[in-house]
Structure 1
Amino acid sequence: MRETGDGPERLNTGTAHSARVYDYILGGKNHYEADVAAGDAMVEVWPALPAHMRANRAFMLRASRCLAREHGVRQFLDIGTGLPTSPNLHEVVQEVAPAARVVYVDHDPIVLNYAQALLASTPQGRTTYIEADMRDPDAILGAAGFRDTLDLDEPVALLVIGMLHFIHPGDDDQGLIRRLLDPLPSGSWLAATVGTADFAPQEVGRVAERYAAEGMPMHLRTHAEASAFFDGLETIQPGLVQVHKWRPDPDDERVRDEDIAMYGAVARKP
């Protein structure tokens, strides 16, 4: 069963957007000239950017599979979904548990357009798309799709992948995560990745400058700052590490530490 939100805003194709730049750099087809130009400029200043982005996505797939297979999670709330790229989150978790339910959230109208076409659930499960901004948790938690799809008497996995470097401390970054976690029951989970310049400060700093020039300012965090998002939660092994070091699969792409600018962790809500 598949449901989508409604009321998309006018699509702006003349300005680069983070989801479409991500799609372009990963080799997708759902982007425009502005996204290509921005992506090329970013890869020029940091050639490792595609490998970094692939590692971030691979973390999401491993973490969601782990939660479904090893911890029995059957409900997922994915914030900042981005453009659908198979395998999507619901494909991974429904392969483990066909009745799993997934709520996707993004605020780019092009993501809504492709979500309508591609985010198709198994007959036993359910996928819903909500058009909303992470900076407005009330809009997410109050959406009919959220209430109708997720049972808050059962654990929910909150995924925030590749998003937090676009959320600044002035936006109450940690408060946003808490507001999303608060209504979720004990035994729920947070899986998140957090951008950092700890390993290649000059190169990653130049990428951040390019994003800012395109109207997408970033805030990169140290390990200690990234850890704060998981305060009060029970982080599972191996803790907060670079994403390529979190339970890697034998066939994962081999990368250098200095080519990965993202920490990742999975933690349980007591």
Structure 2
Amino acid sequence: MWLGVPWGTGCLVRAAHTGLSWGITVVLFLHPTDLQKLEERGELLQPLLFVSLVLCSVVLYFIVSLMDPGYVERDDDEKEAASKEEKVMISRQGPSTVRLRRCGYCFLKQPMRAKHCQSCQHCVRRYDHHCPWIENCVGERNHPLFIFYLAVQLVVLLWAVQVAWSGLSFEQSWTWFQHNALLLLSFLVIVTFTVVVTLLLVSHLYLASCNTTTWEFMSRHRISYLRQCEAENPFDQGIFRNLWRFFCACRLVSWEHLYTRAEGNAV
């Protein structure tokens, strides 16, 4: 399910991301870097591969930015927005001991691990965080793709660091600085984003391996189903099962089922 293309801040952020990505790419080709030298010699494989990776990262960015992160649908006639398979799983438990609550903002019945995002004005399933760089929430539907986007972006940035460094000779003259100011600025921007993306990727892989979210990790003391639970993480099924469920599950998950099985008492 895709979101309508929003205007305002979202468009500005996406335009800034796209402009920065392609602007830095152009700078790397206009200065005497390894990519420019390969292009001049007619060896186009690496330049084309680099451009393809940049294009892939931009496409992934727009997919993650514009897709439904897992919005909780309106529960008409008191029906939860869940798949048929999820409803069967819940029905097999017998009488549910997990009491779902109403959102205080949009008055929808929230599944476990959902949270209302005041920036998006929606309740999001398995809410992780609202990312200002993609102007969208990261939730149950787009979280795996968000991590894949970070991985591709990191590959592009690491390659770009090497390419930008290859064009810097650091001659102590004002003329050199005038001709290479854009390349030097691009190098500093690339290094900054490399550090940020690396930290994000490592932290999200760790959270996925533990089957927890940024919101749950940072705000455990404020979340009722974690604060009242004896287990530190009732959703943890081991690293391999957590990662398999996170990256390979093709449907929404009934977290109430796992919580009831792990904890065995009411929220």
> Do the two structures share a fold, i.e. TM-score over 0.5?
no
Q: Decide which structure has greater strand share.
A: 1
TM-score range, shorter chain: 0.3 to 0.5
Normalising by structure 1, report the TM-score.
0.32
Normalising by structure 2, report the TM-score.
0.32
Q: Decide which structure has greater helix share.
A: 2
Point out the structure with max Rg over C-alpha. Answer: 2
